[in-house]
Amino acid sequence: MSNHTDLPSNNEDSTQNLGENTDIDLSQNNIEVTEEIHAIDAEDIALDNDMAIEEFFAPSGNTRMADDFRAGYVAIVGRPNVGKSTLMNHLLGQKLSITSRKPQTTRHRIHGILSNHEMQAVFVDTPGIHRNEVRAINERMNKAAVSALVDVDLVLFVVDSDQWRDDDLLTLQKLGETNLTVVLVINKSDTLKDKGSVLPLIETFNDSFDFADIVPVSALKNQNLDRLQEVIASHLPVAAPIYDTEQITDRSERFLASEIIREKIMRSAGDEVPYDLTVQIDEFKDEPAHTDPKTGRPRKACTFIDATIYVERGGQKAIVIGDKGQRIKQVGMDARKDMEQLFGKKIMLTLWVKVKRGWSDDERALTSLGY
């Protein structure tokens, strides 16, 4: 009989006991390590939560804003047909304000919003300031342009590179009655045969007014617009964004639809088009995707727009409709295409043409039509 019964019976048992003890020690170490990992995870989660909250209350743009972010209103003024709307559209990289070769195409103040990580410029595209106020609508357009100068932070005074007219002087006189910071934008600089000829022009303008900056550009060809953006940012106050940084305008889709239709008529008819026309949106109805109850077929989401084009005389109505309705049909197709691109949805457009005699010189009619 052995006197060592309290000892392990063999080496295998010793190994097993050692293994069990080692397992216990390792598991304790794992507990400590796991607790450390959980503590780190908790810190990460708390940090993620803080970032999520900060992102939620921040503007929805993805770009981080500069510490000295600048924001303000920028009025774009000048005589008719000098390229103000084209300039705003190309600065935005988005067609927002309608354009044509016909003077006084823009009739309303239109806000376009340009946002990047350094600034937000809220552009105010105005009707051209002109002397010939022959009708009530002309007077209202001038008032809209001048009133745009109230409470703006900066003015872009747009002139043509090779033409100086009385209406340019009129605009400059209006600006001289304010204390606003004014940047002279010499548009269509690419049309100058002799690029050196712009220098005397700059000197002439500089002698006539105390401009904060002078920037020659070609809005249509996107030339020197980056430099213009830098100049704009330098004159805006340090401030938080005024609008959501993903927003491009404060105008409604109804308004933009009416302007697109009016542009297509003016572009389609050329010199034939009557200036005395306006567009009223009668219905703007969004229909969600659904199954047609009659056919059982699925139908995509669609916006139905009914619009009436008002002219002043029967002969003007015939011009807008065109031979066998071809012009108005093409206007509808072109307008629908632009709307679908701008609004990002399917459009069904119905157009009507009606005579409303004397509307452009009728104060009540102008008010009812949104002027």
Length of the chain: 371
Distances (CA, A) of 7 to 2, 12, 155: 10, 12, 99
Angle between helices 314-321 and 253-269 (to 10 degrees): 90
Cβ–Cβ < 8 Å for 166, 80? no
Known binding-site residue numbers for GTP: 78-85, 125-129, 187-190
- Mean per-residue pLDDT, 180-205: 79
pLDDT of residue 208 exceeding 70: yes
pLDDT of residue 207 exceeding 90: no
% of the chain surpassing 70 pLDDT? 66
Q: What is the pLDDT of residue 176?
A: 83
Other C-beta atoms closer than 10 Å to the C-beta of 347 total 19
The H-or-E segment that residue 304 falls in is: strand 302-311
Q: What are the backbone dihedrals phi and psi of residue 360, each rounded to the nearest 5 degrees, phi first?
A: -75, -10
The answer to whether the pTM exceeds 0.85 is: no
Please name the residue ranges forming H helices in the chain: 11-57, 84-92, 136-147, 166-176, 198-208, 225-235, 253-269, 314-321, 326-343, 363-368
Q: What mean pLDDT is reported for the chain? A: 75
For 253-369, CATH gives 3.30.300.20
40-49, 212-221, 232-241, range with the lowest pLDDT: 40-49
Give me the residue label for tokens 């600006």: 175
DSSP per-residue letters across 162-218: TB--HHHHHHHHHHHTS---EEEEEE-GGG-SSGGGHHHHHHHHHHHS--SEEEE-B
Structure confidence at residue 106 as a pLDDT band (50, 70, 90): very low
pLDDT of residue 347 exceeding 90: yes
In this structure, the strands spanning 119-125 and 182-187 are: unpaired
Known binding-site residue numbers: 78-85, 125-129, 187-190
pLDDT of residue 26 exceeding 60: no
Helix (H/G/I), strand (E/B), else coil: 355: strand
Q: Which fold has domain 70-235?
A: Rossmann fold (3.40.50)
Higher pLDDT, 226 or 4: 226
Handedness of CA 90, 95, 97, 103 (dihedral sign): positive
**pLDDT per residue as tens digits for the range 134-153:** 444 455 555 555 566 777 89
Q: What is the pLDDT of residue 37?
A: 44
Cβ–Cβ < 8 Å for 113, 190? no
The domain ranges of the chain are 70-235, 253-369
